Amino acid sequence: MKLFSAEQIYAADKFTIQKQKIGSDELMERAAVQIFNWLHTRMQGAQVKIHLFCGIGNNGGDGIALARHLQEHGYNIAVYVVNYSKTRSKDFLINLERLKDRKIWPEFLDSDCELPEIGKDDVIVDAIFGIGLNRNPEKWVVNLMKHLDVSQAFVLSVDIPSGLFMNKPPDNEDFVVKANHTLSFQAPKLVFFLPQTGRFTDTWEVLDIGLDTEYLATTKSEFELIGKNEVLPLYLPRKKFSHKGTYGHSLLIGGSLGKMGAVHLSAKACLYAGSGLVTAYVPQCGTLPLQTNIPEVMVATDTNETQISKIEHHFEPSAIGIGIGMGTHDKTIKAFSGFMENNKVPLVIDADGLNILSQNKELLKKLPAQTILTPHPKELERLIGKWKDDFEKLKKVKAFSKKWDCIIIIKGAHTIIVHERMGYINTTGNPGMATAGSGDVLTGIITGLIAQGYIPLHAAMFGVYLHGRAGDMAIEKTGYQSLTATRIIEAIGKAYIDLFAVPEQPQVQEEK
C-alpha cells in the first residue's frame, strides 16, 4: 500500500473532483459518512456524550459534517469550533451552514474561553488540524489539547492526530493530540510508522473515500507499506522436479569465542527459510557445537581457535551472510577486508561486519551491487553519522543507498527497507522480538532467500515480512517476554503456510 505525501493527497483530491465531476464538498461528505458509519457500527445509538472539536479548515469541516450525521441519528453531541484562524475553508463554511440549518449551534472556542467539561467515559472526536498543519499550534490550542488528554476520554482522530505534521516531528509532544484511534482517509500516513511520531496514535485504520483509483495506482510514492498482499507476488514456489542444488548454497561467516550462538541461529534460520545447503564458516571453537546441534549445516573452519582470521572457502556460494557474532579483533578486521577485496557473491552484512565497515569506509567501494546491510540504530549511526530526526535519517539512508548501490534494512518496531528513493515499511512483528539473536535470525533468513533465487530487494522485503510474521505466530504460545530467537526460527514454517491461509469467513446462520 502506498503512503502519499500531503501534496500528493491534495493533487488526488483535485484530480478526483474533476474526473468524477463532483464538488469538493461531496468528497468531504464521503469522508464524514465513512466516519459516521464507523462510529455508528460500534456505538449502535448509545447515548455516550460525543464531543466534536473542529478546526476551521477541511479537517474541521469533516468534523462538522460528521456532527450533522450523528445528530440526525439521535446521538448525544456537543460541537465546538476551535477558532484558531479567521481564514475558514469553503467546505467548512458550507457544512457549518448545514449544521445551523438543523438548529445546532457550535460553541466557538478561542484564547480566552473556558474549556468544556469532559467526562472520562465520553468520546472525543479530534478534527482540529488535518494534513494542512504548517506551523506550531498557538498556546491556547495546546492547552486545549492537554485538556483533552487529561480527560482520559476515548479520542478518535480524524485523518491524523491534530498537531502532527506530515513531514517532520513536532517540536514538542504537548503540541499533538494523543489519539486512541485514527481514521485516516484513503491511505495511512508515513508518520504512523516512525518511532518519533508513531506513538501519537495507538491504532489506525484507513477509510476509502473513493479517490480516483487510476491516480492512486499511477502516482509514485516514496514509501510503501509491506503486508501479505505485497509479499505474496514475490514468493518463489518450490518446484516438483528440483533437488537441493536448485535452492542454493548459503555461506554464513561469523562467530567468535562466546558468540558462537549467533552463527548457530543464523544458519538454522537460513535452513528453515529454505536454503538448499548451508555452510557456516567459523573459528575452530565453533566446529563441535555447530556439528552437534545442527547436523544439517556443514562447517568450514578458520585456522584460528577463537576468532576469524582468514576467510577462505572452496566452493561457489549462492549467497553470503557475514558479521554475526564475529567480533572486531584486528585479525578479523584484516580477514574481512581481504574477503571484501575479492568477493563477488551477493552479500548480507550484519552486526560486527557493519561495525568494521563503519571504521573502514574505503571498503564500501567493494560492496557487490545490491548488498544488504541490516543495522540496528547504533550501527546505522556509525555508518551514516548522526541525524536530527527520523525524517532526516530516512533522507540520509536513501542517499547512502543510492551512493553505494546497497539496500539498507533499518531495524525497529516498523522495520524499513530502503532502496534508493524508496522506503518499504514492514507491518509484521511485535515487541517480543526485541530479544537476543532476533537480528541473527533475520540475516539467516535473508541470506537463505537470496540463495534460493530471490533478487536482493525481494529477499529483503520478503525476509523482513516472514521474520516478523514468524515472531507474531510464535508469541501465541510464548507471550512477548518469553519469545526467543529459537522460537522465531521454529515458527518460520508456520509463517510460510500462513502466506496462503484464507481468512476465516464469519459463520452465516441458515434461514429456516
Binding site for ligand LZDS7PUF (CB under 6 A): 9, 13, 27-28, 31, 55, 57-62, 84-85, 87, 89, 129-137, 158-159, 185-186, 211
Q: Considering only 4-12, 149-157, 195-203, 431-439, which stretch makes contact with K ion by CB under 5 A? A: 149-157
Nearer of residues 127 and 406 to K ion, judged by Cβ: 127
> Strand order of the sheet with strand 123-127?
107-109, 77-82, 50-54, 123-127, 154-158, 179-185, 201-207
Task: For residue 351, count CB atoms less than 10 angstroms from its CB and return exposed for 0-12, middle for 13-18, buried for 19 or more.
Answer: buried
286 annotated as ligand-binding? no
| Count of chain residues binding K ion (CB under 5 A) | 5
Q: How near is the Cβ of 130 to ligand LZDS7PUF at its closest, in Å? A: 2
* Contacted by 505, from ligand LZDS7PUF, K ion, none: CB < 5 to 8 Å by type: none
CA dist list (Å): 134 to 130, 131, 143? 10, 9, 19
How many Å apart are CA 469 and CA 491, to the nearest integer?
A: 8
Q: Which does 321 bind (CB under 5 to 8 A by kind): ligand LZDS7PUF, K ion, none?
A: none
Residue 342's CB is within 10 A of a number of other CB atoms, namely: 9
When the beta carbons of 60 and 327 are compared against ligand LZDS7PUF, the nearer one is: 60
59 vs 89, beta carbon nearer K ion = 59
Give the C-alpha separation, 71 to 335, whole Å.
Answer: 73
Among 8, 58, 95, 157, which residue sits at the site for K ion (rule: CB under 5 A)? 157
412 is in an annotated binding site: yes
CA–CA distance, 331 with 132 (Å, rounded to integer): 56
Residue 28 interacting entry, from ligand LZDS7PUF, K ion, none, C-beta within 5 to 8 Å by type = ligand LZDS7PUF
Give yes or no for a contact between 372 and 405, defined as CB atoms under 8 angstroms apart.
Answer: no
Closer CB to ligand LZDS7PUF, residue 159 or residue 350? 159
Neighbours of 146 (CB within 10 A): 15
Quick one: which of 313, 307, 305, 294 has its CA closest to 250? 313
Known binding residue 58? Answer is: yes
149 is in an annotated binding site: no
Question: Residues 37 to 66: which contact K ion by CB under 5 A?
Answer: 59
Q: Is 158 near K ion (CB under 5 A)?
A: yes
Among 34, 162, 355, 371, binds K ion (CB under 5 A): 162
Annotated binding residue 134: yes
Identity of the residue numbered 460: A
C-alpha cell at 343: 568477493
**Residues in binding site for AMP:** 411-415, 439
Q: Binding-site residues for K(+), please?
A: 59, 126, 162
